[in-house]
Amino acid sequence: MMNRGARIEQRRARPQEPVGPTLRRIARLHRSHWLSVAALLVVVITSSIVGVGPSLVLQHIVDDALPGVAHSGGDPSLLNVLIIIFIALVVVGAVAGVLQTFLSNVIGQGVMYDLRARLYRHLTHMSLRWFTANRTGEVLSRVSNDVAAVQGVVTDSFSGIIGNLITVGSTFVVMLMLDWRLACFSVVFLPFFLIPARRVGNVQRELYLRTQEEVAALNSQMQETLSVSGALLVKTFGREHHEIARFEDTASEVRRLSIRRAMVGRWFMFSMGIFSALAPAVVYWYGGHRVIDDAASLGTVVASASLLTRLYGPASQLLNLNVTVLSSLALFERIFDYLDLEHEIADRPRAITLDDVRGAVSFEDVSFSYHRDGRRLALEHVSFDVPAGKFAALVGHSGAGKTTCAYLVPRLYDVTSGRITVDGHDLRDIALESLTAAIGMVNQEPFLFHDSVRMNLRYARPDATDEELEAAAQAANIHDVIMQLPFGYDTIVGERGYRLSGGEKQRVAIARAILKDPSILVLDEATSSVDTHTERQIQDALERLTKGRTVIAIAHRLSTILKADVIVVLDHGRVVEQGTHAELLARDGVYASLYRQQFADEPEAEPSAVDDEAAAAAV
């Protein structure tokens, strides 16, 4: 478990990514929504142009329609027309604003959907090695929290940047047309706010990254300790107070970083607000002197002052967006880091599809390491053959490499050297979808979703009928148990199936495998920790499941594999013996030693084992 110090050191060792490439990737996220983007641009341009209209109308009202120097009595007819135009422009601008909000959200939500879907699709194809090396809470935090945190930026930033740029540009052009001296005087101090805005954005970016890392750590702890397995461990070891203290420590750091992030740049935004509020007074002061000197009309000054809200408001929003976008880059970088991960297990070009799978499996001089650099081989030069339709058992002490062999068959990992074939084809030349369709796996600790029994069974074959579900359950000796549940096949099994016993979960998993009907079956035997009656029920179900298939079984109880066609004995990642039960006993090697040791520890099992041995020898 990575502590805070390790996270800080990791962050310091990682150089800050340049801004340009990340911004270009964010922009490319909008490509598939170009029609909505084009419509938004039209609305934004229309809104910006219409927005300057009321100020120009206001100039004509003051200079031409109201009583003054040019028209001592005023012009009521012109005033009425100008007011109608003023109202019309305001209404059109409001409608354009509604359309702009709608289109911005359509684009933003579309981009977020694409990003979430791409991220989930990419991660589901990562290898098992990657999942074992990364904490589930960290992964969930990036997929959920990081994507959610950038949602507002994606939704608002594009329309905000484009809209505000057009608004500032069009407003400044109109101000220049009215009085270029007054326009230049109005914006002379604006550039001084650009440098602080960038600095504030970079600080926010670092704080955002640190905050999300702590939130990810918080999610990891919750995922580990608030799950059924984690809660059981915490309670049985009496570590509640320790976990509470650890949680509160990380939550306190999240609080501290969040407060600091909220306050960074507040003085900068305060200065912008003060300047925006005082700007009209400055314009009236400077413009008033020009009116007194007959250098400008009163309408020009009034119109220029009214345009300031359309100048400084969007300018402030642009600077604020600059801060927001820069700070959110850290989150985009975390998301893009995951999208840039390479798929270790992937289809080769022109991968073949298996047709009429016989199920012959062969290990040919296979070596494998769980480390990418090949350190500490878990398997060394392993070779054995399992003919189609035969039963092969893998036995050996804990850590001998049995599970590793089982995981290599469905290509959960790729071999380091050598090759594994199915019907003579290298696994790496077979399309993954075709390979997984041909292989079924029943693990020692089967996983069930927090869903109904029916849906857990249908995970193997979504189109299976209720009659097929019940037939598979009956073959797995679990139908009667399911029917005794409160809602039968519609009963929710709970997280990881914890509402069922270990033997019941195992038989549900067997029924699921029966429903899939694979040509090759990989079994991690689960009878070592159940009572004799449950073991017999599971064995009966397995006999039905394995009939007519190629089977590779990890054997914990040797009494269950006495009739195997071939028994492969592994020791420290190497094959030390192969043969039938009788042949290996006669050889009096590692297998015979394991057999004697197991039945010496479990004397009550020996009679049935001897009977099975005699039966096997007779066959």
> d(Cα 608, Cα 595) in Å, to the nearest integer?
13
Query: What is the distance between the alpha carbons of residues 584 and 594, in angstroms, rounded to a whole number?
Result: 11
221-230, 335-344, 371-380: range with lowest mean pLDDT: 221-230
420 and 325 in one domain? no
Identify whether residues 324 and 463 lie together within a single domain: no
What is the reported pLDDT for 421? Answer: 94
pLDDT more than 70, % of the chain: 82
Distance CA 479, CA 463 (A): 19
Tell me, yes or no, whether 22 and 153 share the same domain: yes
Distance of CA 200 to the CA centre of its chain: 29
- 3-state SS, residue 554: strand
Query: Are 315 and 425 in a shared domain?
Result: no
CATH of the domain at 332: 1.20.1560.10
Lowest-confidence segment of 134-138, 426-430, 603-607 by average pLDDT = 603-607
The total of structural domains in the chain comes to: 2
**pLDDT of amino acid 569:** 93
Query: 316 with 422, same domain?
Result: no
| pTM of the predicted model over 0.75 | no
Specify if 344 maps to a domain: no
**pLDDT tens-digit profile of 464-484?**
899 999 988 888 888 889 999
pLDDT at position 361 is 94
Output the pLDDT for position 180: 81
Measure CA 52 to chain center. Answer: 45
Q: Classify residue 349: in a domain, yes or no.
A: no
Q: What is the pLDDT of residues 490-542, one digit of tens each?
A: 999 887 777 888 888 888 888 888 888 889 989 886 555 555 666 677 777 77
| Residues 328 and 399 both lie in one domain | no
Residue 544 belongs to domain spanning: 361-618
Domain contains 599: yes
Are 274 and 414 in a shared domain? no
Q: Which two tokens stand for residue 413?
A: 């990992």
Answer whether residue 469 is part of any domain: yes
Q: Please enumerate in sequence order all residues whose Cβ is within 8 A of that of 62, keeping only pairs 6 or more positions apart, or say none.
A: 68, 297, 298, 299, 302, 303
Q: Which residues contact 44 (CB under 8 A, 6 or more apart)?
A: 100, 159, 162, 163, 166
Tell me, yes or no, whether 160 lies in a domain. yes
Q: Which residue has the higher pLDDT, 345 or 559?
A: 345
Is the confidence at residue 289, as pLDDT, over 90? no
Q: Is residue 345 part of a domain?
A: no
Q: Residue 323 — pLDDT band, cuts 50, 70, 90?
A: low
Residue 444: inside a domain: yes
- pLDDT value, residue 237: 67
Picking from 292, 307, 339, the residue at the C-terminal end of a domain is 339
Kindly indicate the confidence band of residue 13, based on its pLDDT and cuts at 50, 70 and 90. Answer: very low
Same domain, 387 and 334: no
Residue 519 lies in a domain: yes
Task: For residues 334 and 377, state if they share a domain.
Answer: no
Q: What is the CATH number of the domain that holds 472?
A: 3.40.50.300
The tokens for 94 are: 């409001």
Q: Are 317 and 385 part of one and the same domain?
A: no
For strands 391-395 and 377-386, give the pairing: unpaired
User: Given this model, what pLDDT does residue 8 score?
Assistant: 47
Q: Which string of b and e fits 561-597 if b means at least 16 CB within 10 Å?
A: bbebebbbbbbebbbebbbbbeebbeeeebbeebbee
Got the DSSP string for 431-481? -HHHHHHHEEEE-SS----SSBHHHHHHTT-TT--HHHHHHHHHHTT-HHH
Whether residue 429 sits in one domain with residue 499: yes
Pairwise CA distance, residues 303 & 565, whole Å: 95
pLDDT of residue 379: 93
Q: Hey, which of 245-249, 253-257, 452-456, 613-617 has the most confident mean pLDDT?
A: 452-456
Average pLDDT of the residues in 423-439 = 91
Average pLDDT, the chain: 80
Phi, psi for residue 380 in degrees, rounded to 5: -135, 115
Render 18-38 in DSSP notation, one character per residue: PHHHHHHHHHHTTGGGHHHHH
Question: pLDDT category, 156, cuts 50, 70, 90?
Answer: low
Are 384 and 323 within one domain?
no
